[in-house]
Amino acid sequence: MTAGNLWVVDNIGVAPTNAWSIDPFGHSSTMAFLLKRMGFRNMVIQRTHYEVKKSLASKKSLEFIWRQNWDSKNTTDILCHMMPFYFYDIPHTCGPEPAVCCQFDFWRIPGYSNVLPCPWGRLPEAITDKNIEEKAAMLLDQYRKKSTLYKTNMLLVPLGDDFRYSSAAEAEAQFSNYQKLFDFINANSRMKMNVNFGTLEDYFRALHGAGVTDFPALSGDFFAYADKEDDYWSGYYVTRPFYKALDRLLEETLRAANILFFFTQLKCNSTFGRLLLKEFRQNLVLATENLALFQHHDGITGTATNHVVADYANRMHSSLVGLQKSMLVSVELLLSNQKKQNANWFELEQSRSHFTLLPVKKVINLTANHMHRVTIFNPLAMIVDHVMVLLVDSPLFCVFDQKMRSIKSQVAPEWTKESVFTGRHRAQWETHLPALGFETYFLMESNSYGFCQKAVLATLTISENGIACPEPYQCTTFPNSKDIEISTRTQTLGFAHSGFMKWIKDSQTQEKIRVEEEMLYYSTQGGAYVFSPLREADPLVEKGGLLIMAQGPIMEELHLVPKSKFGGKPIMRSARIFKMTSIVEMEYYVELTGRVFDNKEVIVRFKTGIENKRTFFTDSNGFQAVARQTYDKIPLQGNYYPMSSLACLQG
């Protein structure tokens, strides 16, 4: 949004003050807040629940002041105009009767174009002296009916649709016929109406100029959106999740790259530095544009056609590669005292070769008498305690901090989704990362160093159904008598022998909270936009999965490969807790390739004992929390809300 508005100011010389947002599938309060902060005074929205439209229309409140929930001083107010009808095309904007309004879409006149004719059987015709009085009366009747839904005597009637005005002929067809109608109406005082072409700015200027001050103030957002009956547009929340994840990765990389670019500017004054900054700036601009492009309401939602999605993804991937290249060189310059690049100082911890592929982690080959440098950049403006996990080819190593002090570390085997040992290992150690800064660690093969804290081998507990114990680890099998537990000094997590979580216990108070984890799926028929479950969710897993537990001084983990109802092993789940924090990390891997999950939505459900009175909270664009309420009066799909960053229950 910032990039787009700056482009308009820089290239056109206009600072927009009116927002036009008629096709996103629901509207968040955070967008209203951001628009206000960017200097917008007014906004127009369209896709909101049909019952919300009906309720607001009955109170003549389709124009309202949108105010943030937490705003007690009215500093976030923005005037919002909600369009009242089903859609934003011409048949649904002049008034409540699309069969009549479609007759005023003059590009549909037979013989004018290949646009689909009006589906209501009554075709438009060119305005002539013979029909102008009849047509003007028809149009004014629709305008008057629509005007009863608003407080003022001014009416906004959009005139357009998707893929319109692509030719001068269409513009001429629309404007010439409408101008005849306008001239006739304005010249006849008995019609008591003045009609003109105008922009959003014209409309809102007239509205504010009329001195209307009694618009109602509303807070909250407009999710979930339904356009008719039980068609709730909550399906797009999870459509094409792979590319939603790529968007997140590019977004966080772009932020980190912008910070590195600023630091590099402060240091670089050499010829090479200036060349680096020029290329870096170009990569930042391109990444910003490509990320912004994907925020389109058919981009980030996953609802575009296949070839358009491929173009989006290719652009994001190319930008990601460009940023990573510039960031590597930038880090080399920032951490060295030299004024030119040193070849191959750093490699990425993980990278991907194509926009359709998952990232591949770099494996550190631990050779004798060779020290590997690991540098971590923290782009956050706060200190971060983090457990670093890297792949190594040997369990025999030591980790040193940047003062060359040997520090505690742990090593565990890496498994495939079939729970087969890959021959590689996961090196794990605790890090303390400075705000907006770097921290460097060193890895060395332990036999090459006289004395150091060798990585502690994780203690493994495995299922009895054929998992081989990898060397040099010690393995035991799970006892049948009690729940499986992983713990830290602050909490213990309990799991059933199926591998799914049952409870969390506070180590200090010994209070045990029920948190029962399930993996299920909905059979649906809704497509990319609409979530339309055929019935309640069905269990996705059966008895007989594989379990591996790894425990050590840094972290404890329970790795689960459940037996899928559909055969194969398309699902993995790892539950982790860390000794340095109270975080519980749950990682899910679902292989959506092939046809196994066609017309199915996979969900994870946690059943708790929290008495939340059917209220829960989700984030709004990662900016604020919004209270949600579940209702029996609306179908299941209407009780699903977007959650881009967080959700919480409060008892």
pLDDT, tens digit (0-9, with 9 covering 90-100), for 88-133? 999 999 999 999 999 999 999 998 888 889 999 899 999 999 999 9
Cα dist from 20 to 17, 23, 43, whole Å: 10, 9, 6
| pLDDT for 446 | 85
Asked if the model's pLDDT at residue 368 lies above 90, the reply is no
Helix count and strand count (H, E) for the chain: 10, 33
| pLDDT for 260 | 96
Asked if the model's pLDDT at residue 545 lies above 90, the reply is no
CA distance 232 to 635: 9
Higher pLDDT, 463 or 437: 437
Asked if the model's pLDDT at residue 69 lies above 70, the reply is yes
- Which pLDDT band holds residue 341 (cuts at 50, 70, 90)? low
Domains of the chain: 2-222 (3.20.110.10), 236-351 (1.20.1270.50), 362-452 (2.60.40.1180)
* Residue 579 DSSP SS3: coil
Query: Tell me: the pLDDT tens digits for 267-294?
Result: 887 767 788 899 999 999 999 999 999 9
| pLDDT for 572 | 92
Rounded to an integer, the average pLDDT of 341-365 is: 87
- The one catalytic residue in 10, 23, 183, 385 is 23
* Catalytic residue check, 23: yes
Asked if the model's pLDDT at residue 338 lies above 80, the reply is no
Q: Which residues make Cβ contacts (< 8 Å) with residue 573, sequence separation at least 6? A: 499, 519, 559, 560, 562, 586, 587, 588, 589
DSSP H or E segment with residue 306:
helix 306-334
Asked if the model's pLDDT at residue 372 lies above 90, the reply is yes
Taking only Cα atoms into account, the Rg of the chain, rounded to an integer number of angstroms, comes to 30
**Do residues 484 and 556 lie in contact, with contact meaning Cβ atoms separated by under 8 Å?**
no
Q: Write down the pTM of the prediction.
A: 0.92
What are the structure tokens assigned to 548, written together?
């591996």
**Do residues 578 and 493 lie in contact, with contact meaning Cβ atoms separated by under 8 Å?**
no
Neighbours of 571 (CB within 10 A): 22
Query: Tell me: the pLDDT tens digits for 38-49?
Result: 999 999 999 999
What are the structure tokens assigned to 630, written together?
């579940």
| pLDDT for 618 | 97
Query: Tell me: the pLDDT tens digits for 222-240?
Result: 999 999 999 999 999 999 9
Asked if the model's pLDDT at residue 344 lies above 70, the reply is no
| pLDDT for 622 | 94
Burial of 5 (0-12, 13-18, 19+ CB in 10 A): middle
